[in-house]
Amino acid sequence: MTDTTSSAPQQVDPRAVLAHADKLIDSDQLQAGYDRIAEQITEHMAELNPVIVCIMKGGMYAAVEITKRLSFPLELDYLHVTRYIGNVTRGGELVWQVSPDINLENRHVLLIDDILDEGKTLRAVLDAIQAQGAASIHTAMLLQKLHDRRLPGLQADFLGFEVEDRFVFGGGLDYKGHLRHLPAIYAVAADME
C-alpha cells in the first residue's frame, strides 16, 4: 500500500508565485540601474584593465548587462560558489564548484553578482581572491538587501538598488530554480515563502 502522507515539501507552482508577487523594480528601472552601475565602474576602473569575475549563477544576468555597457579593455572570467544546492531558498554550507581560470595575482578584480544579502558567500570569495594576490578587488551588485544581518564591513562598491528584506526573484535571481529570466525584480508574497 502507498503512503499518501508524504513528508516531502510541497512544490509551489512558479506561475502562482509570480501571480501573487509584488513588482519592486520594473524593466525600465532595471535597465537604468545597469546604466548607473556601468557609469560608476567606468569612472573608477576604465584605466585598470580589470578582470571582471561573474559569480554564477545569479551574477550572469548582471554581468552580461553591465559588461555590454563598458567600452574599455577588460578580461572576463567566472566562478561558481554556492550555499544553495538544489532548489532551496535557505543557504547551507559553502561549496566551491568552479574557480576563475585567469591568474588574479597583481590584477584589478571586479566581482559582479546579483545580490548582497548577509554576505557569507561574498566574504569567502573576497578572501579567496585576496589570497591570490589581487592588486585590488571591487564589487558590483545589482541589489543589496536592507537589514542588519550583513557581515560587518561588507558593502557593494557599485550598486544598482537597495531592496527591502524579502525573498526576491527576476533579473537573474531565481525562485527555487525558476523565474530567473524575468526582466523585472519581484518579491515573493509573504504567504508563499
Please say if 101 is a catalytic residue: no
> Looking at 113, 114, 117, 174, which residue is catalytic?
117
Instruction: For residue 16, give the amino acid letter.
Output: A
Spatial separation of the C-alpha atoms in residues 48 and 115, rounded to whole Å: 25
**Phi and psi, residue 189, nearest 5°:** -60, 140
Determine how β-strand 185-187 pairs with β-strand 22-25. Answer: antiparallel
C-alpha distances in Å from residue 89, one per residue of 5, 51, 169: 23, 30, 11
Residues with catalytic roles: 117
